Structure 1
């Protein structure tokens, strides 16, 4: 009986060690977000699965009364199981609503109930863990969010599961806006993956500009490190998208299939922003309206990958899979030599 108990404890210890990586490794972790509503996102996963360490499908949200709403894609799930791809589903506060976040995070009992629901979902589906992506300017419950992440981490770690968190990038401490809700130091201590969303420097309401300028991305990494987060935990979120501004309108996201159509239609040439280390297009359309598109290519991504190596980060997270060129994946294979994880 004693031998069986020791054998069981050894198995639990081994499982926890393998499911929760020690982060001291080369090559790097490659996390890829797969969007449920986008067919091209799933096709990209199928095409590039051998280079993806963990897939994070956007299946889950939580409503204002704490219900976990799951919209699991059975085709993706079956493909992942058949190809041994670890899944770490993403969960959001429904529509990034401030009201939802405040309702969920204000009361300890609600936080406990939601954390239990997440744990049950992960265990029932035998997922590698969960990706927490709560967003919005819910600064009034900043402390509640920290406590919630601590609670989720404690519960999932008891079963050897991984907890990752997506945080809006910031270069200094702030207690307002979308970035103000994240206590980097406290959150970085309890999670396994600390994913800095190194994009949206120029958002849809901003004037035309780079989505992820290298100088700014580097400052966000330095700030995270200054908060005591071990670099072996930090994952750099990189964009596989650009942003398109038409004169007099807000910016909107643009992915590579549409970008290539624009280049072909207007015959525009690529410009290079030397400070941002980012390419852009500038042209007038058939109506004489000025258009500006900032996007990513192999050169700009190379600059960001250099930061992963410079600061010895754990890897990258890609927002998002969506018809990106094969050259992006050749670059990832050459520069990062993706780490393969097994359930």
Structure 2
């Protein structure tokens, strides 16, 4: 059986040991999020699985009553088992709703209940762990979320399972908005992998701009490290998508299958944002409306992978697999030495 999974040797020796990442990372972990609703996402996984350390399918979400709503892709599940691909499913508060987060995180007994539900989910599914992706401006229960992550980590570590937490990127401490939910220092202490979502610098409500400018991504890494998080725990979230602003409309996400069609339709020539180290298109459509698309290419990807090596981070997490260019994977393999582990 191929060596793929990332459990440190200590867990092979003791099932009750507390899971922590290895002391040194030279090889890097490659986490890939896969979305069931998009068949292109699974096709990309099938094509590139040999370069992926962990697959994180977006299968699970909590409702306000603490029930886990599942939408498992049986084809992906079978494929992962056949190819020894470790699965670390993502779980969210449904719709990133504040009311659901508050209902689940306010009371200790409810936090205990949903933490037990996650443990049962991981054990019954024989997953390597869980990827916690609670999002939204639920700052009123910031402390409750920290306690919840601590609880999940303690329970899963008793079984040698991995806990990763996704956090909105920030360059300084905040206590408001989506980024204000996350206590970097406390979360970084208890989880195994601290996943900085290094994208959406320019979001859908913002004016046209880069998704993940290199200077900003570096500042988010530096801030996380300043909060006491060990670089060997930090996973840098990398965008495999762009954002399209059309006239006065909000920006919307655009993935490579659609981007290729737009490039062909308008015969677009790539421009380069020197400060952001990012490519973009600016053009007028057939109705004379100004369009701006910021996206990622192999050069902008390479710039961010250099930061992973510069700060000796644990690796990257890709949002998301979806028909990305082959050159992306060529750059990843040339820049990062991939981490492989025994599956069993």
TMscore range, shorter length: over 0.9
Q: CA deviation at 1:307?
A: 0.3
Q: 1:54 to 1:280 in 2, by over 3 A?
A: same
1:158 corresponds to which residue? 158
> Is contact 1:172–1:223 with CA below 8 Å preserved after alignment?
yes
> For the Cα contact (< 8 Å) 2:17–2:157, is it kept in 1?
no
Which residue in the other structure is 1:251 paired with?
251
SS of alignment partner, residue 232 of structure 1? helix
Aligned twin of 1:224: 224
1:333 corresponding residue in structure 2 = 333
**CA distance in structure 1 between the aligned counterparts of 2:13 and 2:186, rounded to whole angstroms:** 26
Distance 1:306 1:219 in 2: 14
Where does residue 128 of structure 1 map in the other structure?
Answer: 128
Deviations 1:18-63 (A, max 9, x none): 9754152321000000001110001111110000000000000001
1:185 is paired with a residue whose SS is helix
Contact 2:31 2:53 in 1 (8 A): yes
Match of 1:186 in 2: 186
Quote the residue 1:281 is aligned against. 281
The Cα shift of 1:337 comes to 2.2
- 2:278, 2:296 within 8 Å by CA — same for their partners in 1? yes
Q: In structure 2, list runs of 5 or more residues that go unmatched.
A: 1-9
Distance in 2 (CA, whole Å) between partners of 1:253 and 1:91 is 21
* TM, length-normalised to structure 1: 0.95
Tell me the SS of whatever aligns to 1:66: coil
1:138-157 equivalence runs, <5 A: 138-157=138-157
**Aligned partners of 1:114 and 1:333: how far apart in 2?**
38
Q: How far did 1:70 drift?
A: 1.4
1:105 aligns with 2:105: yes
* Match of residue 5 from structure 2: none
Q: Matched residues in 2 for 1:337 and 1:264: separation?
A: 34
- C-alpha contact 2:44 2:321 (8 A) present in aligned 1: yes
Once the two structures are superposed, residues 281-335 of structure 1 have per-residue CA deviations (whole angstroms, 9 ceiling, x without a partner) of: 0000011100000000000001000000010000000000000011101111111
- How far 1:13 moved relative to its partner? 3.2
Tell me the distance in 1 between the aligned counterparts of 2:19 and 2:143.
Answer: 28
Whole-Å Cα distance in 2 between the matches of residues 235 and 314 of structure 1? 5
Deviation at 1:16, TM superposition (A): 6.6
The offset of 1:73, in angstroms, is 0.9
CA distance in 2 between counterparts of 1:258 and 1:337 reads 31
CA distance in 2, matches of 1:280, 1:150: 41
Root-mean-square deviation (CA, aligned residues, Å) is 1.4
SS of structure 1 residue aligned to 2:282:
strand
Larger mean CA deviation between 117-126 and 21-30 belongs to 21-30
What is the TM-score normalised by the length of structure 2?
0.95
Match of 2:73 in 1: 73
State whether residues 32 and 318 of structure 1, in contact with CA within 8 Å, keep that contact through their aligned partners in structure 2.
yes
Change (3 A) 1:293 1:162: same
Aligned residue in 1 for 2:86: 86
Contact 1:90–1:130 (Cα < 8 Å) also in 2 = yes
Q: Runs of 5+ in structure 1 lacking a partner? A: 1-9
In 1, the alpha carbon distance for the partners of 2:277 and 2:11 equals 48
Query: How many positions carry a matched residue from both structures?
Result: 334
Give the whole-Å Cα distance in 1 for the aligned partners of 2:111 and 2:18: 28
Contact 1:33 1:318 in 2 (8 A): yes
Distance in 2 (alpha carbons) for counterparts of 1:290 and 1:282:
7
Shift of 1:122: 0.3
Provide the residue aligned with 2:175 in structure 1: 175
Inter-partner Cα distance in structure 1 for 2:163 and 2:13: 18
> Is residue 312 from structure 1 mapped to residue 309 from structure 2 by the alignment?
no
Counterparts of 1:217 and 1:136, CA distance in 2: 21
Name the counterpart of 2:3: none
Name the counterpart of 1:59.
59
- Report the Cα distance in structure 2 between the residues aligned to 1:140 and 1:17, rounded to whole angstroms: 34
